[in-house]
Structure 1
Amino acid sequence: MTDSKTEALSSTLASTIDPILQRPLAELGYITSARTKRLGAAVIDVLLPVPGPPGHALIETVTAAARSVPGVRSVQIRHELMTDEQREDLMNRVRGEKRPVGGPGSSTYVIAVSSGKGGVGKSSVTTNLAVSLAGLGHRVGVIDADVWGYSIPKMLGAEGAPAVIADSIIPLRAHGVSVISIDYFVPDGQAVVWRGPMLHKALEQFLTDVFWDEPEFLLIDMPPGTGDIAISISQFVPRARVLLVTTPQPTASRVASRAARMADRVDQKVIGVVENMSWFVGDDGKHYEIFGSGGGADLAEATGVDLLAQIPILEAMRSGADRGDPVMVAAPGSEAVHAFEDLAARLVETRPRIRMHPELRIG
């Protein structure tokens, strides 16, 4: 007969979320045995899908869950690594057939965050927008497709190495956001010198080989301009929408309009404009528009879309990015935080109604 403490322990572990695959442990088969002994000692046998930091995180999660059970005073974890066959079976159960995220049959809303030029804060907007969407309760992924200027992992505080289970890459997570970047696959400080076909293949792997688990939103931090990556995105994810980022400076907005024309040529819809670095607030409380004004509004009018947000300059946002803290952590309650929260809410409203099987017809 199973005692009440063991039943409570098993129930708690079953509903505990795996930090690797973000699924309840009951679905994954990691826990092969869980029981309580005399004096409140819990003994748990765990199969680890991967070694290293991800495996350690799983052990810590299981230990913390067990300690939360009333009457459990100590926890002993006995673990071993899954075999190749067990890992293959695991991914077949949770993933099934590989298919590109955002492709046919996918409900993921893919947004390419684009600009015509570098230096407008596109990666900062992508990072903080992703965290804001996650803060609204949505499942969010980010692809850092700026292969020459990758910076999302640092800004998001998601540094390390992705785990690989069977032939699926597991994205890193931070602040409720899953992220993959070329930064994880090149030596530190090495420049990426790739031609179009290599870029195309890397992006295909990010969309297909990464276990995204069908997030509600996938933000793609695009490189500046209208080159190979933009063309590849239009081929892999033709339903992707485009969010344009510019500054108030007229020159920047004119260059960003080229990204809008690129989207139009490949039949991708521009859903709005974000004006970054719109102003800063001085010690006297006044707004200072050091990059001018009107660039975002002009771009929105020329493109026929709404200006969705104006993001102020905030020193805490800059310093936070260097530490891996989004602005919600670095400056909670600030004007920038409210701007990103409003932007996230407005983007949620732009989600299209997607017919999952467009080949089906009635009548």
Structure 2
Amino acid sequence: MTPEDIKEALKQVKYPGFSRDIVSFGLVRSATLDGDTAKVSLTLTTSDPKIPLHIKQEVDKCLRALPGVKATVIDLAVTPARSASAPGGGNLGGNTAAPKTIQHAVAIASGKGGVGKSTFAVNLACALAQLLTAKGRPGRVGLMDCDIYGPSVPLMIGIEGRPQVEGDSLIPMENHGVKVMSMGFLVDDNTPVVWRGPMIMKTIQQFVQNVKWGELDILLVDLPPGTGDAQLSLVQTLPLDGAVLVTTPQPAATNVARKGGLMFQKVNVPLLGVAENMSYFLDPAGQKHAIFGEGGGQKTADSLGTVLLGQVPLIPEIRAGGDAGKPIVVTNPDSPAASTFREIGEAILLQLSRKPMPATS
């Protein structure tokens, strides 16, 4: 029996008060079988002493039901929270980890910085807004900027100012048919965000639970590069229906993107596909030039067992549109780049339509 077999069995154990299991919440750190003894390491954040006890009992019961397992060793590390909390710190007072009005949540991620992930996320959000508006569903796309240290979404999507407050909730700002929330709306341009992990986790929780997103068909979440606090906080707070990896073609980017994909697989977030950004330079004559090499996106997708969603060209108009707050999908919807973003959006919507609706507690 492999560690993967044990983790698969542990998906039967639900977090108290939720219909989501402890594996998909990212609570299982390791699982091994030593002879006839199953050993599992867990970590969670809560101030309710009943929750660790309940989880430990359920894990023990689950493991002992496996063939060949006669004993268990369960290492459960508990971090106290200020209030009874969900695995990522959300309130367990009968609430779900995410608003029920959000049908699907998709992370836009990259292992490496500098691959144009936020530019991609903004254009994809606008493309999805166009596609859903054409289907009679306007205003059903959200974009949550979780790049806490370098929030660039407000600039790229052309929104300035501060969001309105309604009670204990923030009202997302909107442009080009996309509802947006970003740390960039909440801090001054000259104020650096110098935070440790717990503050990042709290902010992401608030962006999920204390923003009035309204009825959304899809919420895109622009993550910072890497596999650190922001990524783990998100998967523990918001049930994700999938993730899209953004990379450029060269090995320096694809090797790191692959690690990002493996992280999502370890926390049971399905990969919807890989998007290759800056795939080629398209000169005025229409000729393609592989500035950053070729085939990296497809190789990354193949290695992760997913699909290549599309190849976005490297053209000045995309960069200029981001700097001006006018995404190319909006300003030049008939361009090859805009068509590529819409094709990627259509592929994502098709995949999501085949998935069951997110579980709620």
Give the TM-score of the pair, scaled to structure 1.
0.69
How many percent of aligned residue pairs carry the same amino acid? Answer: 41
Give the corresponding residue for 1:233.
Answer: 234
Give the corresponding residue for 1:264.
Answer: 265
- 2:279 is aligned with 1:306: no
Distance in 2, Cα, partners of 1:215 & 1:172 = 14
| TM-fit CA distance, 1:354 | 2.8
| TM-fit CA distance, 1:240 | 3.6
Distance in 2, Cα, partners of 1:356 & 1:204 = 18
Give the corresponding residue for 1:354.
Answer: 356
Of 124, 133, 138 in structure 1, the residue corresponding to residue 128 of structure 2 is 133
Contact kept, 8 Å, 1:102 with 1:108, in 2: the verdict is no
Distance in 2, Cα, partners of 1:267 & 1:211 = 27
Give the corresponding residue for 1:116.
Answer: 111
- 2:162 is aligned with 1:161: yes
Distance in 1, Cα, partners of 2:360 & 2:316 = 47
Give the corresponding residue for 2:191.
Answer: 190
| TM-fit CA distance, 1:161 | 0.6
Q: Deviations over 1:142-172 (max 9, x none)?
A: 1100111110011001211100112210010
Question: Which has more radius of gyration?
Answer: 1
| TM-fit CA distance, 1:328 | 2.0
| TM-fit CA distance, 1:330 | 3.2
Alpha carbons of structure 1 residues 358 and 321: separation in structure 2 relative to 1, 3 Å: closer
Distance in 1, Cα, partners of 2:96 & 2:313 = 36
- State the one-letter code of the partner of 1:293: E
- State the one-letter code of the partner of 1:134: A
Q: Deviations over 1:234-282 (max 9, x none)?
A: 1012334110000011221111011111111111111100000011111
Q: Deviations over 1:7-66 (max 9, x none)?
A: xxxxxxxxxxxxxxxxxxxxxxxxxxxxxxxxxxxxxxxxxxxxxxxxxxxxxxxxxxxx
**Correspondence 1:174-213 to 2 at 5 A:** 174-213=175-214
Q: Deviations over 1:50-102 (max 9, x none)?
A: xxxxxxxxxxxxxxxxxxxxxxxxxxxxxxxxxxxxxxxxxxxxxxx995674
**Correspondence 1:36-51 to 2 at 5 A:** none
Contact kept, 8 Å, 2:159 with 2:175, in 1: the verdict is yes
Give the corresponding residue for 1:7.
Answer: none
Secondary structure of residue in 2 paired with 1:340: helix
Contact kept, 8 Å, 1:120 with 1:245, in 2: the verdict is yes
Distance in 1, Cα, partners of 2:358 & 2:275 = 29
Give the corresponding residue for 1:343.
Answer: 344
Give the corresponding residue for 2:250.
Answer: 249
- 2:326 is aligned with 1:331: no
Give the corresponding residue for 2:171.
Answer: 170
Contact kept, 8 Å, 2:248 with 2:296, in 1: the verdict is yes
| TM-fit CA distance, 1:285 | 2.1
Distance in 1, Cα, partners of 2:256 & 2:305 = 16
Secondary structure of residue in 2 paired with 1:350: helix
Q: What are the ranges of 5 or more consecutive residues in structure 2 without an aligned counterpart?
A: 1-92
Structure in which a larger fraction of residues adopt helix: 1
Contact kept, 8 Å, 2:101 with 2:214, in 1: the verdict is no
Distance in 2, Cα, partners of 1:168 & 1:358 = 21
Give the corresponding residue for 1:46.
Answer: none
Alpha carbons of structure 1 residues 110 and 358: separation in structure 2 relative to 1, 3 Å: closer
**Correspondence 1:90-101 to 2 at 5 A:** none
- State the one-letter code of the partner of 2:112: K
Distance in 1, Cα, partners of 2:359 & 2:329 = 38
Contact kept, 8 Å, 1:106 with 1:356, in 2: the verdict is no
Distance in 1, Cα, partners of 2:321 & 2:171 = 26
Distance in 1, Cα, partners of 2:253 & 2:187 = 31
Q: Deviations over 1:298-340 (max 9, x none)?
A: 1000010110010001211111111100112333311101100
Secondary structure of residue in 1 paired with 2:258: helix
Alpha carbons of structure 1 residues 185 and 258: separation in structure 2 relative to 1, 3 Å: same
Secondary structure of residue in 1 paired with 2:291: coil
Alpha carbons of structure 1 residues 357 and 244: separation in structure 2 relative to 1, 3 Å: closer
Moved more, 283-292 or 127-136: 283-292
Contact kept, 8 Å, 1:275 with 1:307, in 2: the verdict is yes
Distance in 2, Cα, partners of 1:101 & 1:323 = 35
Distance in 1, Cα, partners of 2:115 & 2:288 = 19
Contact kept, 8 Å, 2:309 with 2:344, in 1: the verdict is yes
Secondary structure of residue in 1 paired with 2:106: strand
Distance in 1, Cα, partners of 2:102 & 2:205 = 18
Distance in 2, Cα, partners of 1:218 & 1:101 = 14
Q: Which has the higher contact order (CA 8 A, sep 6+)?
A: 2
- State the one-letter code of the partner of 2:333: P
Q: What are the ranges of 5 or more consecutive residues in structure 1 without an aligned counterpart?
A: 1-96
Distance in 2, Cα, partners of 1:280 & 1:330 = 20
Distance in 1, Cα, partners of 2:206 & 2:98 = 13
Aligned length: 262
